[in-house]
Amino acid sequence: MEENDPFTIARVKMVNEQIARRGLRNPRLLTALQRVPRHLFMPLTMREYAYEDRPLPIGNGQTISQPYIVALMTSLLWLEGDENVLEIGTGSGYQAAVLAEMARTVHSVERFEDLADSARARLVRLGYYNTQVHCADGSLGWPEAAPYDGILVTAAAAAAPKPLLEQLAEGGRMVLPVGGIQGQMLQLWTREGGKLEYEEVLPVSFVPLRGKYGWSQEEWENPGSTVEG
Ligand code: SAH
């Protein structure tokens, strides 16, 4: 790693000021965030903003989360290095790379083929051979590689999708935003002794999860008009 590279310097600053200073101090997490070149997950025109304290557009109307939110969601999974992890919403692949630094295997599911293809190529180019990107409806999870010790969803659903809860391993942890256009809560689900429980962590704002267990465009855009049934 080039120590004088302006991106490396910006990344050290990001980790110190946005992550560690706000109370996330797990050394494995900080090392992972220091290692992943966030700017290489951005379109060229966005790279100069890559280390700013905010989400950024990555194309297809999608966004890459603010560094602190990536760090917080990752930290809630308590990864120690031997886990099989599922991410829903690959987007740029940045979150997947952070997970790949901290777990044994990562499966990441993206519904847009062009995003999935470029994230896959980028992850291989950067040497993340423990990560597989799949193009599919992630609201169904990825049953082929279940169960998962950790599940991280980076798009908001109206409720925790049932297939994801089913694919969570005993002792596993799942982090996801739940809610709509008007407001969402980050939820942390755990499965302990066969019992599923969740707690609310923090209000957040994500793009919608689509697909079978996600939002339809109509429901997302017309809050309150949801048909009961
Ligand atoms: N984690 C990404 C950012 C995700 S933005 C990163 O680090 O860059 C949310 C992503 O979820 C978008 O790419 C969107 O296309 C995807 N998405 C939305 N609904 C989905 C679904 N049902 N299955 C898979 N991906 C979905």
Q: How confident is the model over 186-209, as pLDDT tens digits?
A: 999 999 998 999 999 999 999 999
Determine if ligand 1 sits within 6 Å of the CB of residue 141: no
pLDDT of residue 229: 46
Nearest to 135 by CA among 109, 97, 107: 109
β-pairing verdict for 56-59 and 62-64? antiparallel
pLDDT of residue 80: 97
Q: Is residue 92 flagged as an active site residue?
A: no
Return the DSSP state at 143: G
Residue 131 pairs with which residues in a beta bridge?
Answer: 106
User: Which residues of the chain register pLDDT less than 50?
Assistant: 229
Do 102 and 79 meet the contact criterion of CB atoms below 8 Å apart? yes
pLDDT of residue 20: 98
CB atoms within 10 A of CB 217: 9
Nearest CA to ligand 1 atom 17: 89
What is the rounded CA–CA span in Å between residue 119 and residue 179? 26
Do 85 and 77 meet the contact criterion of CB atoms below 8 Å apart? yes
Nearest CA to ligand 1 atom 16: 89
Return the DSSP state at 156: B
Give me the amino acid identity at 178.
V
Q: pTM of the full predicted structure?
A: 0.96
What is the rounded CA–CA span in Å between residue 204 and residue 188? 13
